[in-house]
A and B are shown apart, each in its own frame.
Chain A
């Protein structure tokens, strides 16, 4: 294995790990706001690591630049979209999940 292949393998493994963390949070967390928190952060980091692996896998200079531009675009727009959706939900009047309303979880 060349050092480039080792770097691609490590970046891809990190990306898959954070994508799985995001999906587990999306399924298991109890609230809209906690789900948005989990997916916006973990999914963005997984996308950055995996697109970094793709940028390393391309040898040509122009396609590597294009992949890095796609990475920067997802780095900016993914948290922005999550923020806009959560802000719209808050203005719609969706209440956050708490434990101390009924006192069921002390």
Chain B
């Protein structure tokens, strides 16, 4: 049980370090869609880290937080792309 917990915590740390590389592209992306894609990648990493921590500390209720975060991440991407194309024609 403790070996599984160690594996999950190390994986969560690796995903957190990978998100820092995504933050580099958020800061100096040349265009706006670059930043949106980088924010999407960081959001996906956050969902995975929340799921890993939920499994590591044995708290299944945190999976609901990960599910809501994934839904908001998808909604952010879709609404930004629709808003930049149609200038608020949908929202």
Binding site for B on A (CB under 8 A): 1, 4-5, 8-9, 12, 15-16, 19-20, 22-24, 26-27, 32, 35-36, 39, 43, 46-47, 50-51, 53-54, 57-58, 60, 62-63, 66-67, 69-70, 73-74, 77-78, 80-82, 84-89, 91-92, 94
Contacts and interface: CB of A to CB of B under 8 A. Distances in A.
Contacts of B67: 66, 69-70, 73
Interface in B42-90: 44-45, 47-48, 51-52, 54-56, 60, 63, 66-67, 70-71, 73-74, 77-78, 80-82, 84-85
Contacts, number: 149
22 contacts: A8-B4, A9-B7, A15-B11, A19-B15, A22-B18, A23-B21, A27-B21, A35-B34, A39-B40, A39-B41, A43-B41, A54-B8, A57-B56, A60-B60, A63-B60, A70-B63, A70-B67, A73-B70, A73-B71, A74-B70, A88-B82, A89-B31
A35 B37 contact: yes
B37 A26 contact: yes
Question: Which 7 pairs show the lowest CB-CB distances between chains A and B?
Answer: A81-B77, A88-B81, A23-B21, A89-B33, A63-B60, A77-B74, A84-B81
A8 B9 CA distance: 12
Nearest to B69: A70
Interface residues of B, number: 46
B22 A23 contact: yes
A23 B70 CA distance: 19
Contact of A5 (B7, B14, B33): B7
Interface of B: 3-4, 7-8, 10-11, 14-15, 18-19, 21-22, 24-25, 31, 33-34, 36-38, 40-41, 44-45, 47-48, 51-52, 54-56, 60, 63, 66-67, 70-71, 73-74, 77-78, 80-82, 84-85
